[in-house]
């Protein structure tokens, strides 16, 4: 049985999200409850307020608080070559598909600060495909899109990223892709010659183009099943026939509206080809 405190908390979470939407138009109402609740409770701590109602009152009155709220409600955790085996399979099984196209358009949806975009750019460069690719990296948050454009990542992370890169089948000395200065690793500007970074909201915006390959990894895990279904429809309609959809390692197409219009390329790594 749900205790009263949890019940009340759920009501406050709902009211908070509703008020964000009514006042500012930001729609987090389709976010999965357990994780959005967590992030709202963390905001309550960060803002040093007594509870969700006071947080709500503050964000309604103070647009300056909105920036902080938006930043806390979305997840920006990412890494270069996260899940090396996944990138290995992209190299082995997706690259041959891309080779059959004279021009390749790629969308990294929910790219956060861009680590995955740079990873993919490096991989495509090594496979001699980068020149015929145009990549879109989009995220709901304008501030992380700016970070992605800058392409500067913490130098301290490079040890992990280098090991990921090698395990992902990297062919070069990873350090040739960045220059170190201060505490940052600045990635080579040519890696984004064929990249467009832009703000885009998967929940409310339409398709930005038609793509041969879409990465949307560990983005929809923050959505409810209903919202996932809507976003899946957007992704499906943004893919060319025989285009490839890449999901996170623990995301599935089960119970999504286009489940039967995809075929697994590598079911373990959650790579799917649009066949319907």
Partner 1 sequence: MSKHIVVVGTSLGGLNALTILLAGLPRDFPAPIAIAQHRTRDADSSLAELLQRQSALPVVEADDKTPIEAGRVYLAPPDYHLLVGAEELSLSTEAPVSHARPSIDVLFDSAASSFGTGVIAVILTGASEDGAQGAAVVKRRGGRVIVQDPNEAESAIMPLAVVNRKLADAVLPLRAIPLELQQIARR
What residues line the site for partner 1 (CB under 8 A)? 1-3, 5-6, 9-10, 32-35, 37-39, 75, 77-78, 84, 218, 220-222, 225, 228, 248-252, 254-255
Taking the least distance from each CB to partner 1, the nearer of 19 and 163 is: 163
Minimum distance of partner 1 from residue 228's CB (angstroms): 7
Q: Which segments of the chain are extended strands (E)?
A: 104-109, 133-139, 152-154, 178-181, 184-187, 195-199, 211-216, 239-247, 262-266, 271-274
Tokens 């997840």 -> residue: 75
Taking the least distance from each CB to partner 1, the nearer of 32 and 95 is: 32
| Strand order, beta sheet including 271-274 | 195-199, 133-139, 104-109, 211-216, 239-247, 271-274, 262-266
Minimum distance of partner 1 from residue 248's CB (angstroms): 7
Taking the least distance from each CB to partner 1, the nearer of 43 and 133 is: 43
Taking the least distance from each CB to partner 1, the nearer of 37 and 91 is: 37
Minimum distance of partner 1 from residue 224's CB (angstroms): 8
Minimum distance of partner 1 from residue 231's CB (angstroms): 13
Distances from the Cα of 84 to the Cα of 89, 118, 126, angstroms: 9, 14, 16
Q: Are 112 and 138 in contact (CB under 8 A)?
A: no
Phi first, then psi, for residue 83 (nearest 5°) are 60, 75
Taking the least distance from each CB to partner 1, the nearer of 38 and 61 is: 38
Minimum distance of partner 1 from residue 232's CB (angstroms): 12
Q: Are 247 and 217 in contact (CB under 8 A)?
A: yes
Taking the least distance from each CB to partner 1, the nearer of 36 and 122 is: 36
Q: Which residues of 89-99 are buried (b: 16+ CB within 10 A; e: fewer)?
A: bbbeebbebbe
Minimum distance of partner 1 from residue 30's CB (angstroms): 13
CA distance linking residue 20 with residue 40, whole number of Å = 12
Taking the least distance from each CB to partner 1, the nearer of 127 and 251 is: 251
**Distance of alpha carbon 68 from the chain centroid:** 19
| Pick from 276, 203, 215: nearest CA to 242 | 276
Minimum distance of partner 1 from residue 101's CB (angstroms): 30
């Amino acid at each position: 049985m749900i205790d009263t405190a949890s019940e009340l908390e759920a009501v406050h979470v709902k009211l908070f999200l509703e008020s964000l939407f009514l006042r500012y138009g930001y729609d987090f109402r389709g976010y999965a409850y357990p994780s959005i609740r967590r992030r709202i409770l963390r905001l309550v701590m960060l803002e040093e307020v007594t509870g969700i109602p006071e947080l709500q009152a503050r964000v309604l009155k103070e647009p300056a608080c909105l920036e902080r709220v938006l930043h806390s409600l979305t997840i920006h955790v990412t890494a270069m070559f996260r899940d090396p085996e996944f990138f290995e399979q992209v190299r082995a099984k997706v690259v041959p598909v891309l080779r059959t196209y004279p021009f390749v358009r790629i969308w990294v949806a929910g790219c956060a600060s861009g680590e995955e975009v740079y990873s993919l750019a490096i991989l495509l460069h090594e496979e001699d495909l980068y020149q015929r690719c145009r990549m879109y990296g989009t995220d709901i948050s304008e501030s992380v899109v700016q970070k992605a454009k800058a392409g500067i990542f913490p130098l301290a992370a490079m040890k992990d990223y280098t090991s990921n890169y090698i395990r992902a089948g990297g062919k070069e000395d990873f350090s040739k892709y960045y220059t170190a200065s201060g505490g940052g690793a600045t990635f080579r500007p040519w890696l984004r010659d064929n990249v467009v970074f832009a703000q885009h909201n998967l929940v409310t915006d339409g398709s930005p183009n038609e793509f041969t390959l879409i990465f949307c990894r560990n983005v929809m895990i923050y959505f409810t099943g209903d919202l996932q279904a809507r976003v899946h429809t957007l992704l499906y309609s943004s893919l060319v026939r025989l285009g490839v959809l890449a999901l996170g390692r623990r995301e599935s197409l089960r119970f999504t509206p286009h489940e039967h219009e995809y075929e697994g390329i590598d079911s373990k790594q959650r790579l799917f080809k649009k066949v319907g």
